[in-house]
Structure 1
């Protein structure tokens, strides 16, 4: 579900929920998810299934018929779990998805919907979950 805001010129209209179409992947294999600043949701899957990243537009002026999942590539962004967009860095920031780097913050450029390869990530020097320096 996506929460739609009312049009800018109509303050009397209430926010409304919109249902997303079913994804072309199984939720059990999601490794990462984030909201793109241009109005897309990005999701990576991996593990025991083939790596892939998908996106769907949930931006303004998109009706339900225009909301279609697209596969961006056969790559996985370098995160695990929910990732946040930092407007000051113009990057996604979250925990590293590398099992050897659990607890380290990772940042990478925001992928575009046209990206054919995964943007490179940078790791913090300290493990925030109690490990030593890398």
Structure 2
């Protein structure tokens, strides 16, 4: 039988050795689009990796390290490619959320946002923004999804489903029910459906979540 050979790596990186214990050294990798990821170590140091171009560059750090983060990427190419310097709305955004939100108000939700730094800058760059925490504490987020370019939503067993309005940066309760998925849910634009593992059997499943979008 023919064996598959894994190609040689383009480059390698590792967490900073400054953590007192070896098991505290880690790098979190948050996928964007294509072959791009944003990575952060245990000291919040963050960089953007573009494997397609072979580029790695530093970007603004997280305000605080995350214990068990989950992430959602919300693409917004219409804003990303707009050359209007007076357009200040957010472009593509990567949301980083603690899986078990704590009782403290800050640092539970952050977003890497692609936008203009100021009217004097022609090009957009990545910025890190603090966002309000979900309106509950300590319970695990069981499923989460991006809903178009305007919102994201999370579900918590026994609590319900909440939606974050990206434009106003506010959370609202959608219902006492939860999404029919376990873990991360991915949108397939070709089919206009969201795919993930089913909540009960963890089998591949699909659902139409378009009614949850902000403009619905």
TM (normalized to structure 1)? 0.66
Question: Which structure has more RCO (C-alpha within 8 Å, separation ≥ 6)?
Answer: 1
Aligned Cα root-mean-square deviation (Å) = 2.1
Residues 150, 213 of structure 2: 8 Å contact kept: no
- Per-residue CA shift, 1:61-86, capped at 9, x if unaligned? x3xxx211100011111100111111
In structure 2, stretches of 5+ residues that fail to align are 1-109
Residues 72, 113 of structure 1: 8 Å contact kept: no
Q: Does 2:136 align with 1:25?
A: yes
- Per-residue CA shift, 1:95-125, capped at 9, x if unaligned? 0101xx23x11110024247xxxxxxxxxxx
In structure 1, stretches of 5+ residues that fail to align are 115-134
Higher-Rg member (1/2) = 2
Supply the distance in 1 between the matched residues of 2:179 and 2:124 (Cα, whole angstroms). 37
TM (normalized to structure 2)? 0.43
Q: Does 2:176 align with 1:74?
A: yes
Count of residue pairs brought into register by the alignment: 101
Supply the distance in 1 between the matched residues of 2:195 and 2:154 (Cα, whole angstroms). 14
Equivalence for 2:204: 105
The runs of 4+ residues in structure 1 deviating greater than 4 Å are none
Q: List aligned pairs for 1:7-86, cutoff 5 A.
A: 11-26=122-137, 28-46=139-157, 49-50=158-159, 52-58=160-166, 62=167, 66-86=168-188
